[in-house]
Amino acid sequence: MKEELLEKVKELIERRMQTSYEAMDAAKNSANEEGKSSAGDKYETARAMGQLDREMNGRMYEQARQERLSLDKIDTETLFTKVAFGALVETTMGYFFISIGAGIIELNAIKFMVISQEAPIGQVIFGKSVKDSFEFRGKTHKILSIN
C-alpha cells in the first residue's frame, strides 16, 4: 500500500510542477507579447508584472522539484522502528505518511494525511515508536503501527 501511496504523491507533485511550468511559460509569453503603447509606462508595467509572475511560478516549480527529489529518496522497503521520513504511520487519530506536505490522499477508501516532519503533528510524532502515546490539540492518541 505504501508503494501505491508514494506513487500518488509523486503524481500530485508532477502535476504541480507541470502547472507551475506552464504558468511560468505563459507569463513569459505574455510579457514578451505586450507591445509599446502610447500610454508610455503601460508597456514597462506589463513587463514588470510578467517578470514577477514568472519569478513566482519559477519558485513554485523549484519547490515542487525539490519535493519530488525528496520523494525519490524514499525506499518503500525500509522497515521503521520509529517515526521517520518515509514512514507510514497508523495512529488512533488516523494514517500519516511522513514525506512532504501534500494534504489528504485517499487510497482504497482510506484517507492518508501526507505531511512533512515540520508539520505540527509531524513534529509531535517524529521519533516515536509503536505503542507510544502523544498529545495533539489537547487529546491523547497512540501510535498503532509504523511501516
Q: Domain ranges for the chain, please list them.
A: 2-72, 88-146
> Worst-scoring range by mean pLDDT, 12-16, 22-26, 121-125, 139-143?
22-26
Q: Are strands 103-107 and 94-98 parallel, antiparallel or unpaired?
A: unpaired
Distances (CA, A) of 13 to 16, 19, 29, 51, 58: 5, 10, 24, 24, 15
**pLDDT tens per residue, range 53-112:** 888 888 999 999 999 999 999 999 999 999 999 999 999 999 999 999 999 999 999 999
Tens of pLDDT along 98-138? 999 999 999 999 999 999 999 999 999 999 999 999 999 99
Where do we find the cell 510579457?
Answer: 31
